[in-house]
Amino acid sequence: MDKFIINGGKKLSGTVKVSGAKNSSLAIMPATLLNNGKNVLTNTPEVNDIFTMIKLLKHLGVKAEFNNHTLELDTTDIISQEAPYDHVKKMRASVYVLGPLLAKYGYAKVSLPGGCAWGPRPINLHLEAMKKLGAEIELEGGYIIAKAKKLKGANIHFDISSVGATGNVLMAAVLAEGSTTISNAAIEPEIVQLADFLKDMGAQIEGIGTSTLKIEGVNELHPANVRTISDRIEAGTLLIAGALTRSKITLDYIDHEHINSVLWKLEDSGAKICKDNNLVTINAEGLSIKNVDVTTAIYPGFPTDMQAQWTAFMCLAEGVSSVTDNIYLDRFKHVPELNRLGADIEVRNNTAVVQGGRKLLGAKVMSTDLRASASLVLAGLAAKGETEVLRIYHIDRGYQRIEEKLQALGADIKRVPGTEF
């Protein structure tokens, strides 16, 4: 298994381009199952979760070509409506095929995703909403078996705002008979892009970007093309790399407003942010990092997917800070690993209490999930001496060759193939 070896303490400089958003592509790709023909998705990130989704779509009969971030998906000859355990266990987002398969083919058999690396992540909201649309749902042998001759529009209120449930139901409702209203819908940029893509396919959706979506079902949808938005979490992670190495770096990143919550917190820490057309520059040269509390929330709040990285950053701040995760209460697997690097963090319920002013020292640490591994790489960039980050297949799920981006900025990080677990 590959690992990273990082020699920390190097200042970063220069400009780096942010890749396309993994979580946008992961929603758009299964949406193509709703049409028949060739869809072209540009700016698709080359990350392992995308390769996993391609494998799943191929299993269903989709013809896929992926070259230089352009992904062509031809959905003309679908041969299966089953997402097997082997695919779903690798990536929970596989459950996104449920809505489109059910709506288009009247049947879907999708493995239940089970637990995830940091705790329970239920899909009850997806299933309850499908039932409201008239689907018959059974759970059998670890699989969701969903059937419906024709889905029927319904009023669906989500008690919790869920990215995945909103996306899945949206993909089901666009081909349902009649009107559907989704209230307390997710308004994350990835869901907005999914809804826009569905509209480009011929779907009738109103209220895009608001928490109430009104959908008028249509009989069929046609293929469409889309350029994936930039990855706001990769952007936030790289900005923190600049901040905790007290550097000045620039991101080539188009969708500024998607990361305002992170930019504002970075400004609170004392870093200077400058936005200019498609560039965002952070200047943290000579910075005494102020302690800044964060609490994660649904968009446009501070993203849970930036919580681990912020925790790493706050280890270097002047005082004590608290980092609370209200989306995933157990998402703190990175904390013991950061403590191995010399951090002093205690988890109290769903809050990490971070003692600032720590001198981080290189050590061997283990990635446990995608964002946890990003936090370890960040801490390694700031730590004195050598840090080895093991099990970096986690980071490869969602960051496109992160070491190359950091190297381009001047970091001393290398990928070492290895057998060590």
Catalytic residues: 116
Residues 158-177 that bind ligand EPU (CB under 6 A): 160, 162-165
Q: Which is nearer to ligand EPU, 165 or 176 (CB)?
A: 165
Collapsed DSSP state (helix, strand, coil) of residue 145: strand
Looking up tokens 């370890």 gives: 376
Output DSSP code: residue 384: B
| H or E element in which residue 165 lies | helix 163-173
Q: How far apart are CA 209 and CA 226, in angstroms?
A: 17
Q: Can you say whether residue 219 is alpha, beta or left, with left for phi > 0 and alpha for psi between -120 and 50 degrees?
A: alpha
Name the strands in the sheet holding 70-74, side by side, starting at the edge strand that comes first in the sequence.
63-67, 70-74, 38-42, 225-227
Task: By CB under 6 A, tell whether 371 contacts ligand EPU.
Answer: yes
Name the strands in the sheet holding 320-324, side by side, starting at the edge strand that comes first in the sequence.
294-295, 320-324, 351-355, 344-348
Residues 258-317 that bind ligand EPU (CB under 6 A): 304-305
Interface pick for ligand EPU out of 253, 328, 332, 399 (rule CB under 6 A): 328
Residue 9 Cβ vs ligand EPU, minimum distance, rounded to whole Å: 28
Residues 85-114 that bind ligand EPU (CB under 6 A): 92-93
* Nearest one of 278, 249, 272, 253 to 410, comparing CA atoms: 249
Residue 384 Cβ vs ligand EPU, minimum distance, rounded to whole Å: 29
Which residue minimizes CB distance to ligand EPU? 164
Interface pick for ligand EPU out of 16, 18, 21, 26 (rule CB under 6 A): 26
Output DSSP code: residue 311: H
- Region from 8-16, 123-131, 133-141, 207-215 binding ligand EPU, contact rule CB under 6 A: 123-131
- Region from 8-16, 104-112, 118-126, 171-179 binding ligand EPU, contact rule CB under 6 A: 118-126
Residue 165 Cβ vs ligand EPU, minimum distance, rounded to whole Å: 5
Collapsed DSSP state (helix, strand, coil) of residue 68: coil
Task: By CB under 6 A, tell whether 398 contacts ligand EPU.
Answer: yes
Binding site for ligand EPU (CB under 6 A): 23, 26, 92-93, 121-126, 160, 162-165, 190, 304-305, 327-328, 370-371, 398
